[in-house]
Each structure stands twice: as structure tokens, then as C-alpha cells.
């Protein structure tokens, strides 16, 4: 009986831990010193997406092709581009600094909404919620995740607007 | 082109109300330069450019689509960022940094017109937005 009780206690504890870890994981690690160029340049057209939202090679692919950036010309001068690229690579989700060269049959994702993690975390959100006027589209993280630009995607702090 | 840049630089260093000074100097610069038939910038032509609608990826687009129909008001990017008003009368910080001005001409002329803007178009556009009250 005592064994059973401790087993239950242990499993509760474990469940608690994994729960906490899961939410911990939804706060992306942000470097202590945030690149000012990243904040201003990326953040002038859209939310400054935290580097931890994509793997390094995805960031390299995006930074290689800024003059064709999802239908817009987002080209930068060389110095600014290099600074932002470095910031993104070193705080990316996998810290992978290799160039964006896909292996045969591999596709390097460039849309955050195409990542497996995005699909996983938004499983319960219906498509029409993303289309609400108050949201705009799935690209507008901050509509529901107020702290998104600081890397905070904590599930408990989500507020979905009507 | 580098001459225009220098003139823009001169304009950015000018005290508030840079519109007139900018136009006069830039106009003089273009006259000395190699633009045949140039007889000054036109706020009217700049206005026409601001509202001119082009088709991009099957959709109508103009400067006004993002910068708002009234340049004295704030606009919004397609990806939900507020854009400060374009008219320098209500937004004195506008057009103060020549590198920033050139960066946005480079990007947005490509986005809206699918080509670079000419120095004349840039001058007209700036004249419209710096003289609008």
C-alpha cells in the first residue's frame, strides 16, 4: 500500500515535472543582448520573430533571399544583413550555423507556420480563429501571445481575441 | 544618383520645414545634371504616384494601400505593423535620414511598381509629402 502510494506520488511528481517542462519550452531562449538591427529592421514590417522559432538553416535561407521575402523586397545593406544573420543563427532553435543547402529530398522550411512545432502547438486552434479580424493571420503571433517578441509563448498567457 | 543622395543629405540636415529647401536644391542639382527637360519637381505628380494603382500578384496595390489614403494618418503593413504618417507636417521625423529614405524607395518601388523609381519620381514623391499640410 505504501508502495502504491509512493508510486502515485512519484507519477504525479513526474507528470508535474513534464507539465512544467512543456511550458518552460514555450519560452524561447533569448540572448541577453538583443540585436538592435534585428529589432528595428525585421520589426518594421512584421513582429520581430524571435530567433528560436526556426532552425539555423531556415534563417540562412531567409537571409539569403531578402529581396524576395514572401512577396516583398526586404533587402538590407550588407553590414546590417550580416549582423542580423549572426544574431538569428546563434540563437536559432538548433544553433545550426551551416549554410542553407538542402540534402537531396529535403526541404528547408522558411515559414514559421510550416514548422512541425507550430502545427503541434496550435492543434486545437480552428482555422477561422486565425482569420478573425482581431487576429489577421497566423503570422500575427502577438494577437494571442502578447510576449511573443520576447520569446514568451507560455500557454497559460494566451489570450485569443474575439 | 550620388548627386541626389548628397542633396537628400543636405535636406536632412536642414532645420524643420525641409520640404522647400530640399526641392530647391535638388531641382538645381537635377538641372545641372543630365535630366533633359527637367523643370522642377511637382507635388501634383508625386500625389499621382502615391495613389497610382498597380497590379501585383493579381491584386491592386498602391503606396496608399499600406500608407493609408490620407498620408497625414498612420498606415499598416500587410503583416500588422503600424507605419507612422508619411506627411512630414505631422511626422517631423520623416525623411530625415537619407539612407533610410533610399532603403524604402528601393524596397517599395520594387514592391508596388516592380521596378526602381527614377530620381524625378523620388523628388516628386518627396515634394508631395513634404509640402502637404
By residue count, chain B amounts to: 133
Mean pLDDT, residues A16-30: 63
pLDDT digits (tens, 9 = 90+) for B38-92: 889 999 999 999 999 999 989 999 999 999 999 999 999 999 999 999 999 999 9
pLDDT digits (tens, 9 = 90+) for A34-60: 999 999 999 999 999 999 999 999 999
- pLDDT class of B14 with cuts at 50, 70, 90: very low
What confidence score (pLDDT) does residue A7 get? Answer: 53
CA-to-CA dists, residue A71 to A68, B78, B79, B114, angstroms: 6, 11, 12, 11
CA angle B126, B131, B133 (to 5 degrees): 130
Tell me the shortest Cα–Cα distance from A62 to chain B, in angstroms. 16
Judged against a pLDDT cut of 90, whether residue A26 lies above it is answered with: no
What confidence score (pLDDT) does residue B37 get? Answer: 82
- pLDDT class of A17 with cuts at 50, 70, 90: very low
Q: Which domain holds residue A71?
A: 2-157
- pLDDT class of B29 with cuts at 50, 70, 90: low
Q: Does A79 touch chain B (CB under 8 A)?
A: no
What confidence score (pLDDT) does residue A106 get? Answer: 93
Does residue A53 belong to any structural domain of this protein? yes
The residues spanned by each domain of chain B are 2-131
The total of other beta-carbon atoms located within 10 Å of residue B1's CB is 9
Which site among B5, B56, B63, B80 would you substitute to test the A interface, given the most A Cβ atoms closer than 10 Å to its Cβ? B80
H or E element at residue A108: none
Tell me the shortest Cα–Cα distance from B76 to chain A, in angstroms. 9
Q: Does A46 touch chain B (CB under 8 A)?
A: yes
For chain A, the domain total comes to 1
What confidence score (pLDDT) does residue B57 get? Answer: 87
H or E element at residue B54: strand B54-56
> Residue A149: its chain B contacts at CB < 8 A?
none
What confidence score (pLDDT) does residue B10 get? Answer: 43
Q: What is the ipTM of this complex?
A: 0.80
Instruction: Characterize A95-116 residue by residue with b for buried, 16 or more Cβ atoms within 10 angstroms of its Cβ, and e for exposed.
Output: eeeeebeeeeeeebebebeebe
> Pick from A71, A77, A136: which is nearest to B80 by CB?
A136
Percent of chain B's residues with pLDDT above 70: 74
Question: Under DSSP, is residue B4 helix (H, G, I), strand (E, B) or coil?
Answer: helix
In the numeric block, the cell 532645420 is attached to B15
Q: Does A6 touch chain B (CB under 8 A)?
A: no
Homologous superfamily (CATH) of B2-131 is Cytochrome c-like domain (1.10.760.10)
Instruction: Characterize A24-41 residue by residue with b for buried, 16 or more Cβ atoms within 10 angstroms of its Cβ, and e for exposed.
Output: eebbbeeeeebbebbeeb
Identify the contact set of chain B against chain A, taking CB-CB distances under 8 A: 56-57, 77-81, 99, 103, 106-108, 110-111
pLDDT digits (tens, 9 = 90+) for A89-148: 999 999 999 999 999 999 999 999 999 999 999 999 999 999 999 999 999 999 999 999
Integer Cα distance of A56 and A151 in angstroms: 16
- pLDDT class of B16 with cuts at 50, 70, 90: very low
Mean pLDDT of chain A: 89
Judged against a pLDDT cut of 90, whether residue A80 lies above it is answered with: yes
Does residue A119 belong to any structural domain of this protein? yes
What confidence score (pLDDT) does residue B65 get? Answer: 97
Q: At what angle do helices B98-113 and B119-131 cross, to 10 degrees?
A: 110
Nearest CA in chain B to A75: B107
Amino acid at each position: 500500500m505504501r508502495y502504491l502510494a509512493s508510486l502515485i506520488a512519484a507519477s504525479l511528481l513526474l507528470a508535474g515535472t513534464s507539465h512544467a517542462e512543456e511550458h518552460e519550452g514555450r519560452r524561447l531562449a533569448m540572448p541577453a543582448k538583443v540585436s538592435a538591427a534585428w529589432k528595428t529592421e525585421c520589426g518594421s514590417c512584421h513582429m520581430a520573430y524571435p530567433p528560436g522559432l526556426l532552425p539555423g538553416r531556415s534563417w540562412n535561407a531567409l537571409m539569403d533571399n531578402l529581396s524576395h521575402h514572401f512577396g516583398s523586397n526586404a533587402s538590407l545593406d550588407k553590414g546590417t544583413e550580416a549582423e542580423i544573420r549572426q544574431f538569428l543563427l546563434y540563437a536559432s532553435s538548433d544553433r545550426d550555423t551551416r549554410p542553407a543547402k538542402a540534402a537531396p529530398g529535403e526541404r528547408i522550411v522558411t515559414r514559421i507556420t510550416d514548422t512541425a512545432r507550430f502545427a503541434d502547438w496550435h492543434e486545437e486552434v480552428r482555422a477561422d480563429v486565425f482569420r478573425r479580424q482581431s487576429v489577421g493571420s497566423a503570422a500575427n503571433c502577438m494577437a494571442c501571445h502578447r510576449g511573443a517578441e520576447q520569446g514568451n509563448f507560455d500557454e497559460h498567457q494566451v489570450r485569443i481575441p474575439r | 544618383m550620388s548627386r541626389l543622395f548628397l542633396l537628400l543629405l543636405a535636406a536632412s540636415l536642414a532645420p524643420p520645414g525641409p520640404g522647400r529647401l530640399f526641392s530647391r536644391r535638388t531641382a538645381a542639382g537635377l538641372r545641372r545634371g543630365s535630366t533633359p527637360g527637367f523643370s522642377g519637381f511637382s507635388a501634383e505628380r508625386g500625389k499621382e504616384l502615391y495613389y497610382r494603382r498597380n497590379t501585383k500578384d493579381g491584386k491592386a496595390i498602391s503606396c496608399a494601400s499600406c500608407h493609408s489614403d490620407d498620408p497625414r494618418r498612420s498606415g499598416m503593413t500587410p503583416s500588422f505593423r503600424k507605419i507612422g504618417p508619411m506627411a512630414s507636417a505631422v511626422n517631423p521625423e520623416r525623411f530625415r535620414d537619407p539612407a533610410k529614405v533610399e532603403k524604402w524607395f528601393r524596397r517599395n518601388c520594387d514592391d508596388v511598381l516592380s521596378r526602381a523609381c527614377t530620381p524625378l519620381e523620388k523628388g516628386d514623391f518627396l515634394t508631395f509629402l513634404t509640402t502637404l499640410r
